[in-house]
Amino acid sequence: MTTPLICPSILASDFSKLGEEVRAITEAGADWVHIDVMDGHFVPNITIGPDVVKALRPHSNLPFDCHLMISPVDSFLEAFRNAGADYISLHPEAGPHLHRSLKYIRQLGAKAGVVLNPATPVEILDWVMDDIDLVLVMSVNPGFGGQSFIDGQLKKIEVIRKKLDAVGHHAILQVDGGVNAANAHLCVEAGATAMVAGTAVFKGGPSAYAANIKQLKGL
């Protein structure tokens, strides 16, 4: 079984010391830093903006994985790239022209990702395959951390895995929402190669982060 990338979501970290938390997960063996950006419009919550991403950038040499839950999204892409985002993922519903947005992310020098909500059909990927580096399957409805994993999304992961493999596509297949030690192996078995985890990583405080990440990797 492939060992997945673990991308701790700082949404579950201690916001009073974000820099320390990012350093801690970096030292604990995280592969990426996942940053959930919410605008209170596209999703019913507000988190952080590009200035916070910029402030965090010196605290880790890991890829910054920015999941933009904002609409309209296009006008913010350059700001997040300039702030230090290595991966920028967006929802098809967050702008009028998905293809153009993905092209623009790559023009900015970042990797481009598409995020599929639980009810978003996988067929939307068919027309942007040449423009994506990552597919993120939401296993909860976006907007809040700490939600329970939607088991039905495992089938969606399987379908996307087959779709990518059929054309020899090497996009990272990421899962986000309710991922924990009990279901992480199911995501990998379905075809996921990266997992976002919030509570499952940050529970227990910094001294537990390394063990939590190792457990999610199945090691």
For 192-204, the pLDDT digits (tens) are 999 999 999 999 9
- Is 126 an active-site residue? no
Helix %, strand %, coil % of the chain (to 5): 45, 20, 35
Q: How confident is the model at residue 219 (pLDDT cuts 50, 70, 90)?
A: low
Q: Which residues span the domain enclosing 69?
A: 5-217
Instruction: State the CATH number of the domain containing residue 90.
Output: 3.20.20.70
Q: What pLDDT shows up at residue 143?
A: 74
Q: 151 pLDDT exceeds 80?
A: yes
Instruction: Tell me how far apart the alpha carbons of residues 173 and 137 are, in angstroms, rounded to a whole number.
Output: 8
Mean pLDDT, residues 161-187: 96
Q: Walk across the sheet containing 64-69 and list its strands.
A: 5-8, 194-197, 172-176, 134-138, 111-116, 87-90, 64-69, 33-38
Exposure string over 152-166, b if 16+ CB within 10 A, otherwise e: ebbebbebbbebbee
Residue written as tokens 């006008």? 75
- pLDDT the model gives residue 12: 95
Q: How many domains does the chain have?
A: 1
Catalytic annotation, pick one of 36, 39, 65, 133: 36
Q: Name the pTM for this structure.
A: 0.96
Catalytic residue, from 39, 65, 133, 176: name it.
176
What average pLDDT does this structure show over 176-204?
A: 96
Question: Is 176 labeled as catalytic in the residue annotation?
Answer: yes
- Known binding positions for a divalent metal cation: 34, 36, 67, 176
Query: Residues 138-158: what's their mean pLDDT?
Result: 88
